[in-house]
């Protein structure tokens, strides 16, 4: 078993190490010197990325000094802070360098290198993840292994045609990303000629304009003044679908977040939704009001052995359960539209900040000022907001415009 210990490393100490093993630097996190049985010594940076542990070699001692090893480690840690895996970046850079030397570069290798380079300018890791996802999902199966100078317009059309009218926004962004990668390749003299992903005066003459395909349809929302009357109706229905819908309204949640909710996600009066069920793929904490906790208790009593928040015979309710409640209540609105009802109420009836409202909706913040608030999730401020929303939803029916009103 290798010896492992933490010591303050300096030149003389490292030079005198004779016992094989790994010695961790006490000054720079993740840096250690690996003494092999033959007493050759190597600088190693150990780190964790996306839950997995990695080791990357920085160089041998004494060819690489301890000062340079610490500098390289800090640079790698800076990449981690930006969401970049330094091992993957190193491999991509090496592959690209070798490919450039032979003037034959595969699209996938070059695209990955481009993304790692652009991550430095993105303040949100999500941008890089979106680039990687769309390219891997749609582009790489067709042109990933092709050399940059072999990619043609026919290849681009093969990628875009299947999704151009069904996933128009995704397809349009994907086209722009491919165009950018190929433009960078042209700049590096890895290909020449017209960019096959170019829109203006090129693909524009073949594909329909994205903004002409279909108009964006917004989810129909119930005016917020009518929400309390609906909540009163839901409480009279006494069904699992009605409980789930009231819970969704009170917490301004999305359908998938609620119907996939697990009892294990509740800790006291906080519901933690994992990133896998969130639109932005980021964990979201929801402070639950008194009525939300009552709803969960009622739902549990109706199906005691289930792992889900809302279920029938141990199985989570379907995504049609809540729309059916709206039909029974004769309400012309969508389930998702209650998020808009909530947002309108915040703007028109309260003094709560837009930042807190947007964070309650788990929206991705694009504004630079608002984004600063993302460093914390403002749980207590959101708790105050949702408690106010609960009180509003409990207004007696006489003070609410009837549902049939315009």
Closest CA to 146 of 103, 108, 198: 108
Give CA–CA dist 183/111, Å, rounded. 11
pTM of full prediction above 0.85: no
Q: How many helices (H) and strands (E) does the chain have?
A: 18, 10
Beta pairing class for 284-287 and 311-312: unpaired
Residue 261, token pair as written in the block: 């909710």
Residue 205, token pair as written in the block: 């003459």
Give CA–CA dist 146/168, Å, rounded. 25
Task: List pLDDT tens digits, range 98-117.
Answer: 554 445 789 999 998 888 88
CA 12, 14, 19 angle in degrees (round to 5)?
125
Class of domain 88-212: mainly alpha
Residue 348, token pair as written in the block: 């028109």
Q: What does the DSSP 8-state code read for residue 17?
A: -
Task: List pLDDT tens digits, range 134-191.
Answer: 898 889 999 999 999 999 999 999 999 998 988 888 899 999 999 999 999 999 889 9
Q: What does the DSSP 8-state code read for residue 139?
A: I
Domains in the chain: boundaries? 3-81, 88-212, 224-399
Which CATH architecture group holds 3-81?
Answer: 2-Layer Sandwich (3.30)
Which residue spans within 176-288 are E strands per DSSP? Answer: 266-267, 270-273, 284-287
Residue 381, token pair as written in the block: 């401020």
Task: List pLDDT tens digits, range 324-379.
Answer: 999 999 999 999 999 999 999 998 888 898 889 989 998 865 444 444 445 567 89
Instruction: Classify domain 224-399 at the CATH topology level.
Output: hpI Integrase; Chain A (1.10.443)
Beta pairing class for 3-7 and 21-25: parallel
pLDDT of 1 over the 80 cut? no
């Amino acid at each position: 078993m290798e010896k492992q210990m933490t010591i303050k490393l300096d030149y003389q100490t490292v030079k005198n190490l004779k016992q094989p093993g790994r010695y961790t630097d006490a000054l720079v996190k993740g840096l250690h010197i690996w003494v092999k049985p033959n007493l050759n010594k190597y600088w190693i940076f150990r780190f964790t990325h996306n839950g997995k542990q990695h080791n990357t070699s920085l160089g041998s001692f004494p060819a690489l000094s301890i000062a340079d090893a610490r500098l390289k480690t800090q640079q790698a840690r800076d990449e981690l802070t930006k969401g970049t895996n330094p091992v993957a970046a190193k491999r991509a850079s090496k592959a690209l360098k070798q490919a450039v030397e032979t003037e034959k570069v595969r699209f996938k290798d070059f695209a990955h290198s481009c993304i790692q380079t652009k991550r430095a300018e993105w303040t949100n890791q999500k941008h890089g993840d979106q680039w990687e996802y769309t390219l891997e999902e749609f582009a790489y199966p067709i042109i990933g292994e092709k050399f940059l100078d072999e990619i043609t317009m026919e290849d681009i059309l093969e990628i875009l045609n299947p999704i151009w009218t069904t996933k128009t926004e995704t397809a349009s962004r994907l086209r722009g990303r491919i165009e950018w990668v190929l433009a960078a390749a042209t700049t590096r003299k890895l290909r020449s000629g017209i960019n096959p992903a170019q829109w203006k005066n090129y693909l524009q003459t073949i594909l329909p304009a994205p903004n002409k395909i279909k108009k964006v349809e917004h989810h129909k929302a119930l005016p917020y003044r009518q929400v309390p009357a609906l909540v009163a109706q839901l409480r009279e229905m006494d069904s699992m679908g009605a409980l789930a819908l009231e819970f969704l309204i009170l917490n301004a949640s999305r359908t998938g977040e609620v119907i996939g909710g697990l009892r294990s996600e509740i800790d006291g009066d906080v519901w933690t939704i994992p990133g896998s069920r969130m639109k932005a793929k980021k964990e979201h904490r929801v402070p639950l009001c008194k009525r939300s906790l009552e709803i969960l208790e009622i739902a549990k009593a109706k199906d005691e052995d289930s792992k889900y928040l809302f279920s029938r015979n141990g199985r989570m309710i379907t995504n049609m359960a809540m729309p059916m409640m709206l039909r029974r209540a004769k309400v012309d609105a969508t389930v998702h539209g209650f998020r808009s009802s909530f947002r309108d109420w915040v703007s028109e009836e309260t003094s709560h900040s837009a930042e807190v409202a947007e964070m309650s909706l788990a929206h991705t913040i694009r504004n630079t000022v608002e984004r600063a608030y993302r460093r914390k999730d403002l749980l207590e401020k959101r708790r105050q907001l949702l408690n106010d929303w609960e009180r509003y939803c409990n207004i007696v029916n006489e003070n609410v415009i009837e549902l049939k009103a315009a």
